[in-house]
Amino acid sequence: MPQGVAQLRRTGIHLFRIAGIDIQIDFSWFIVFALVVWSLSSGYFPSQYPDQPTAIYWTVGLVAAILFFLSILLHELAHSMVAIRAGIEIPSITLFIFGGVSRLGEEARDPWTEFRIAVVGPLSSFALAGAFWSMEAVLSGAMPTLVTTVFEYLAMINLLLGLFNLVPGFPLDGGRLLRAFVWWRTGSVTRATRVASDVGKGFAIVLMILGGVQIFAGQLLGGAWLLFIGMFLRSVAEQGYQELVVRQSLEGIDVEDVMMRDVVAVSPDITLRQLVDDYFLKHGFRGFPVVKNGRPIGMIRIEDVARIGRNELERTTVNSTMTALDEAHRIAPDAPLSEALKKMSFDGVGRLIVMRGDEMQGILTKEWLRRFLDVRRALGTTAGV
């Protein structure tokens, strides 16, 4: 499930990197992983191959669950590889409670690129299903039935994963295929995204209704799962359209057109007590650039101070607590505003120091950018985009 540039940054556990892509596990993933292992070990495999020791079922269930999530990772890698070949940056892939997310550095530039990125996901799942069925056929009779049952399960689950992703509702792969088709027919990515988003929300509502019916029928776990998936898909479907509108409303606007020019900066030598009393409480900002000899050297945030004990505030300086200035926290004044939004989303920073060379020109914060967008929306400048 590829996602757009303005999605909220997910935090989790870094696993490794593949082709420059950061592979992560969101903390919510452990919930669904435990549920999958439990359902396979206590339900599916005992029913398919009874009268085995409990330890065998749990071992096989654990192996099958790991291979299932590796299948999801391969599905997302397929999206990512095609996107990279199209010149689109993929900073990370995250496995989380509802599957996987490939984070796209930008949206596809044309319907054909959108089609290729979207279609490869289900195709990879179908290819995995075929591979697992072939392994089951080859090993049948040569290996214990429980082992071949694992391959049968993986083939079935990958087939279902591919079919589910073909549902023509955003943000599923089928929704992106629908968007590519409408985009190609109409020439408008905005209209195409609106159509795919509406279909996605409709599909999400159907899932929520089915989940409610199952809950009332006594199938609590399955019903709750459908309900949560429906709620998630409905939220993301609407968010995908709103992100497109926001990005288009920022076209032609540079950072220097929006940034705050009157910057309140702090010295690295003051104590955190002075910082709290004279800056945080006085100005109400959640962070300040740290400046030494007229040049910014870092950023100090309220979260940094909150980690320090009250008794240590008098003895601790800003210099020992701040985050050193790096590329994640700076941006050029002539950079497009959409680039600042992408930078904030990917790097999880709440504010950017606007710099020309080594000189600070201003500062841009998420809150300031949100106010700017609200004003443009209120004035109708985004209407008809």
Residue 143 — pLDDT band, cuts 50, 70, 90? low
Q: Is the four-CA dihedral 68, 73, 74, 78 of positive or negative sign?
A: positive
Q: In percent, how much of the chain has pLDDT > 70?
A: 90
| 8 pLDDT higher than 50 | no
pLDDT per residue over 222-280, tens digit each?
788 788 888 878 887 777 767 776 776 677 788 888 888 888 888 999 899 988 888 88
Whole-number Å distance between alpha carbons of 102 and 44: 30
The segment with the largest mean pLDDT, out of 27-36, 107-116, 307-316, is: 107-116
Q: Are 366 and 344 in contact (CB under 8 A)?
A: yes
| 98 pLDDT higher than 70 | no
Residue 336 has a pLDDT of: 83
Query: Which token pair is 168?
Result: 């023509």
How far CA 271 is from CA of 102, 130, 133, 280, in Å, comes to: 42, 64, 65, 13
User: What is the average pLDDT value for the chain, to the nearest integer?
Assistant: 82
Q: Annotated catalytic residue: which of 76, 107, 136, 243? A: 76
pTM metric for this prediction: 0.70
Residue 192 has a pLDDT of: 87
Burial 293-327 (b: 16+ CB within 10 A, else e): eeebebbbbeebbeeeeeeebeebebbebbbebee
pLDDT per residue over 189-233, tens digit each?
888 888 888 888 888 898 889 888 888 887 777 788 788 888 878
Q: Which of 89, 130, 96 is nearest to 27 (CA)?
A: 96
Query: Which token pair is 273?
Result: 């007590």
Whole-number Å distance between alpha carbons of 133 and 177: 27
Residue 384 has a pLDDT of: 39
Residue 383 has a pLDDT of: 43
Residue 130 has a pLDDT of: 95
Residue 9 has a pLDDT of: 44
Q: Domain spanning 255-378: which CATH class is it, in words? A: alpha beta
The verdict on whether 303 is a catalytic residue reads no
Residue 348 — pLDDT band, cuts 50, 70, 90? low
Q: Give the domain ranges of the chain.
A: 2-249, 255-378
Residue 126 — pLDDT band, cuts 50, 70, 90? very high
